[in-house]
Amino acid sequence: MESGKANLVEKSKKSYRVKRPSQTGFSSPATHYTEPRIDLNDALINNPSSTFYVRVIDDSFSEFQILKDDVLIIDKSLTPKQNQLAVITKEGAFEITRIDKDSKEEIQLWGVITYIIKSTL
Amino acid sequence: MIALVDCNSFYASCEQVFRPDLQNKPVVVLSNNDGCVIAANKEAKALTHIPMFEPVFKIKEVLKANNVTCFSSNYTLYADMSQRVMDTLREFSPNVEEYSIDESFVDLSHYPISQLDAIANEIKDRVHKNTGIPVGVGVAKTKSLSKMANKFAKKVAKNNGVYVVENEEKRTAMLKYFSLKDIWGIGRQHKIRVEKTGAKSAYDFTKVPLAWVRKEMTVVGERLWRELNNFPCHEMTIKVDKKKGIGTAKSFGYKLEDYGLIEEATSYYVAEVADLLRQQNSAASYLEVFLHTNSFSNTDKQYRNKIVITLDIPTNSTIKLTQEALKGLQKIYKPGYRYKKVGVQLFGLVHDTDIQTNLFYQPKKSESSKLTKVIDELNSKFGKNCVKLATVGNREKQWALIKEHRSPRFTTQWNELLTIGKSKS
C-alpha cells in the first residue's frame, strides 16, 4: 500500500467519468449511462476519522438484538439521542446501552452505534 | 495565527482508547524489541522512583509491582490514530502541517482573533471526542510561540490544555514563566552564552539586543529571537522535502549466528527502503550494509563492520539493490559471532529520471522497471511482501523483533477488532 495512506479508513476512489467503450464490435449503448457500483462506505460511514468497528463475542447484549459475531459500527463524533444505542464504559469495561435521557444515571459515552453488521449464514 | 496541537502522551493514549480498564492508570510503551520504555502517560511519569530509562529487563519487576501496564509499540495503530487526529484538525483549517506523528501546526489565520479562544477549545474537545485522544492547543502568531504556548497550556493547570497568545500581556506572562532551557530550539551552547548576558527567562532572552544575538547565535538564533518577539520567520510547510538518505536498521528478536537468516533480514530491509526510494522517485548511488553484535553483552565476542558499495549506475530496483547488498553482507559477515543487528542505508539519491548511465552500460530499464511496478502494485493491493524476492525467505519469526505485549491492530485488521462481551477473560 502507499505509505502514509495505508491505514486510512477511506472512501473508495470511484470515478463518475464516462469510460471509453471497450467493446470490439458495437460500442455499448450504455456508454453514457454508467455509474460506479454501490459502495457500502457511502451508506454506512459518515465520518471515517471517528468511525470504529467492534466485534461482539457473545450473546450478553441479546436484549438489543445484538448477538455473537455481529460487528458494530460506531461513530464517536455523534452525540446520542433518546433511545439510540451506544457503547459506554462502566467500571473499566465496555457495555452497550440504550440512551435514556430521563435516567439520572451518569454514563461515560464511548461512541454511538450507527449500524450493526450481521451475517445470516 | 498558528495553533500547535500536540497529543498528550500519544502512544499511551492510543492504547488507552481501547482499554477503558486502564483509565487513569499508569501505562508505558516499549521500544522495538521491548528494550526500553519510550513513552509513559501522566500516571506512569508520576512514579518518579522508577528509573524509566533503564533497560526493561532491569525494571520489569518494579513496573509490575506498581501495576504499570506495558505495551510493545504498535506503530500500525499509532499511525492510524495519528491520521484520525490530523483529519479532524483539517475540519478546522485547510492548512495543516503534520510536524510529527503526534504534533501538528494548524493555520488559523482565517478566524478573527476574538474567536480563537473558542476555536482552540473546540479543537481540543472535538479531537478528544472523535478520536479519544487528548490534546493540548497553543495558539500564537509564530510557530515558536505557539509551541511554547502549547507547553504552557499543559504545564499550568488553570490553562486547562489551551493557551492563546492573543495579546502582549499573555505573551509576556508566558515568556516570563519559562526559563532559557525551555525554549524550543535553543542549544546547550547557546543557552550558556545567553546566560552570560544575565538573562534567565525566555522573556529576558527576547530583550537581549538583536545585534548581540546575530553575532553570538548566528541566523538560527536570530530567527528564534524574532519569532519569540512575535515576528514570524517560519512559514507553514506543507510539502515534505525528499529524503536525502533512506535507511533502516532493527535489532533481531534473537541473537543470530546463521548467515541464511541474516541474509533474509537484509533482503527484507532492502525491499522496505527500495520501496520508499521509488515512492519519492529517487534512485540511490551508494548502498551501505552494516552488521554488529550486541555491544552491551559481557559474554559475547564482539564484532562490527560495515561496507559501502558504489552502484555502477544509480538504481531503485529492489532486485539490483538486494544483489548488491547481499554481496556486501557476504564480505563483512564473519562466522562464529552472535549478531544483534543488520542495517541498510541508501544515499547519494538522485531523481530517477536524471540517472547518468556510463558509456559501456545501458540499462535495460524497461524490463526491470516494469517488473518492479507490477510487484509494487500487487503488494499495494494485497499487502506488504505478498510478492517478494526469494532471498527474503519466510522465516521472519526467527529474526523479527519481539513484540510480546503488542495490542491488536484494532483499526486496520478485521481479525483484530476491538471486542465487546461479558465472557471476555
B415 vs A contacts (CB less than 8 Å)? none
pLDDT score at B364: 57
Per-residue tens of pLDDT for chain B, all 425 residues: 999 999 999 999 999 999 999 999 999 999 877 888 999 999 998 888 888 778 888 888 889 999 999 999 999 999 999 999 999 999 999 999 999 999 999 999 999 999 999 999 999 999 999 999 999 999 999 999 999 999 999 988 888 999 999 999 999 999 999 988 888 878 788 888 888 888 888 899 888 888 888 888 888 888 899 999 998 888 888 777 778 888 888 888 888 888 999 999 999 999 999 999 998 888 899 999 999 988 877 888 899 999 999 998 888 899 999 999 999 999 999 998 999 999 999 988 888 776 666 666 665 555 567 888 888 888 888 888 888 988 888 888 888 877 778 899 999 999 999 999 987 54
pLDDT score at A5: 40
CA B231-B90-A73 angle, 5° bins: 155
> How far is C-alpha A57 from the chain's CA centre?
18
* Count of other CB atoms within 10 angstroms of residue B112: 9
Residue B401 CA to residue B418 CA, distance in Å, equals 24
Q: Tell me whether residues B420 and A94 touch, CB distance under 8 A.
A: yes
Interface check A73 vs B, CB under 8 A: no
Q: Which residues of B touch A (CB under 8 A)?
A: 20-23, 76, 79-80, 83-84, 87-88, 126, 129-132, 275-276, 279, 379-380, 383-384, 410-412, 414, 417-424
Report the phi/psi class of residue B229: left, alpha or beta, with left for phi > 0 and alpha for psi in -120 to 50.
alpha
Q: Across the interface, which of B132, B410, B421 has its CB nearest the CB of A56?
A: B421
Residue B214 CA to residue A114 CA, distance in Å, equals 59
pLDDT score at B358: 64
Q: Across the interface, which of B80, B412, B421 has its CB nearest the CB of A58?
A: B421
ipTM: 0.84
Q: Residue B335: CA atoms inside 13 Å, Cβ hemisphere, count?
A: 3
Give the gap in angstroms from C-alpha B194 to the nearest C-alpha of chain A: 41
Give the gap in angstroms from C-alpha B218 to the nearest C-alpha of chain A: 36
A12 vs B contacts (CB less than 8 Å)? none
Cell numbers placing B19: 482499554
DSSP for residue A108: E
Interface check A114 vs B, CB under 8 A: no
CA B354-B358-B359 angle, 5° bins: 130
Q: Residue B95: CA atoms inside 13 Å, Cβ hemisphere, count?
A: 11
**Interface contacts A/B by beta carbons within 8 Å:** 92
The type of residue at B147 is: K
Q: What is the DSSP string of B333-398?
A: --TT--EEEEEEEEEEEEETTSPPPBTTB---HHHHHHHHHHHHHHHHHH-TTSS--GGG-S-GGG
Q: Across the interface, which of B130, B383, B384 has its CB nearest the CB of A49?
A: B130
